[in-house]
């Protein structure tokens, strides 16, 4: 009798196990269907990869493959909106620039330090607008100060003592941009600028984390639009940043930041020549506000 009960118990356990397995599979499928498409893709198994170093193959920390983005979806979701906004953006900026004939009261100072460092001064001006709207008194909640919103550690790194002085702040900020530029020697010029900007706002280490993920997944780590622009937002997901050296980072904000500055740089390039004489950019009077800006 005991043996009969034992066999019945075994069969009952098998039936319960099968039923629970089927129920769990259906439940997982139900909740996965509730997730938005990118997260649904991240729930897929990790693809095994190996990386060749010298003559040896070794396993790397594995990351899920980022969700694919079709050219059609990207085009219809962003291109038309960007073109329309940039048309209005350019028209408004041209009107303001024609009235003032300058980008800011600091055009000459920006040009001197930027061009000496090998940067187009209009690129640096676009960055300053994004950071401080050309207001040298601005201080962020995180403690960044001045025109280029330098953190105290960054100011110390480049030898800046008076972080509030607008001229010194610009000089120090350009020095830091030069340091970042030396870290990105490969890739197309505009891609390098985007990576420099992303490093400026989120930190060089986080961008290097993103490049490592890109490299492991077969993306070009030195390419912006087709690679790093898609990879950096993944640093907000613990599936990815938990396996990186520097951890969580606001990747989407870094992408928005870099693209906004590059777009403004394009507009500035239409408004003013890169080379100008002192007579072409009149010096503002002392009574003019430090935050005056065309755009």
Which class for 246: exposed (0-12), middle (13-18), buried (19 or more C-beta within 10 A)?
middle
- Which of these, 183, 172, 178, 189, lies nearest to 206 by C-alpha position? 183
- Pairwise CA distance, residues 111 & 275, whole Å: 9
Helices 189-202, 121-132: crossing angle, 10 deg rounding:
30
Respond yes or no: is residue 131 known to be catalytic: yes
- Pairwise CA distance, residues 203 & 198, whole Å: 7
Residues whose CB falls within 8 Å of the CB of residue 249, separated by 6 or more in sequence, listed in order: 202, 203, 206, 209, 210, 232, 235, 236, 241
- Which of these, 256, 238, 261, lies nearest to 248 by C-alpha position? 238
- For β-strands 56-59 and 50-53, DSSP reports them as antiparallel
Beta strands in 60-191 (DSSP E): none
Catalytic residue among 41, 116, 131, 226: 131
Residue 43 has which token pair? Answer: 């729930």
Whether 204 and 180 have beta carbons less than 8 Å apart is answered as: yes
In which region does residue 239 sit, left (phi positive, over 0), alpha (psi from -120 to 50) or beta (all else)? alpha
Q: What residues are labeled active site?
A: 131
């Amino acid at each position: 009798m005991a043996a009969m009960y034992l066999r019945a118990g075994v069969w009952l356990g098998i039936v319960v196990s099968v039923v629970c397995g089927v129920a769990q599979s259906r439940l997982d499928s139900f909740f996965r269907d509730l997730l938005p498409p990118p997260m649904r893709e991240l729930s897929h198994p990790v693809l095994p990869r190996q990386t060749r170093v010298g003559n040896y193959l070794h396993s790397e920390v594995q990351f899920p493959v980022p969700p694919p983005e079709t050219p059609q979806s990207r085009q219809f979701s962003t291109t038309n909106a960007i073109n329309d906004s940039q048309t209005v953006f350019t028209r408004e900026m041209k009107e303001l620039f024609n009235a003032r004939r300058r980008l800011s009261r600091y055009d000459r100072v920006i040009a001197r330090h930027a061009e000496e460092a090998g940067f187009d001064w209009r690129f640096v001006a676009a960055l300053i607008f994004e950071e401080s709207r050309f207001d040298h008194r601005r201080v962020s909640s995180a403690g960044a100060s001045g025109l280029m919103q330098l953190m105290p550690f960054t100011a110390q790194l480049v030898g800046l003592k008076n972080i509030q002085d607008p001229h010194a702040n610009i000089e120090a900020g350009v020095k830091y941009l030069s340091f970042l530029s030396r870290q990105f020697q490969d890739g197309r010029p505009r891609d390098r600028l985007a990576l420099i900007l992303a490093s400026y706002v989120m930190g060089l280490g986080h961008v290097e984390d993103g490049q490592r993920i890109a490299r492991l997944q077969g993306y070009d780590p030195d390419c912006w639009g087709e690679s790093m622009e898609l990879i950096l937002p993944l640093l907000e997901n613990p599936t990815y940043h938990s396996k990186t050296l520097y951890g969580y980072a606001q990747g989407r904000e870094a992408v928005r930041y870099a693209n906004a500055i590059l777009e403004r740089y394009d507009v500035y390039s239409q408004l003013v020549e890169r080379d100008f004489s002192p007579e072409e950019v009149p010096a503002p009077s002392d009574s003019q506000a430090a935050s005056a800006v065309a755009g």
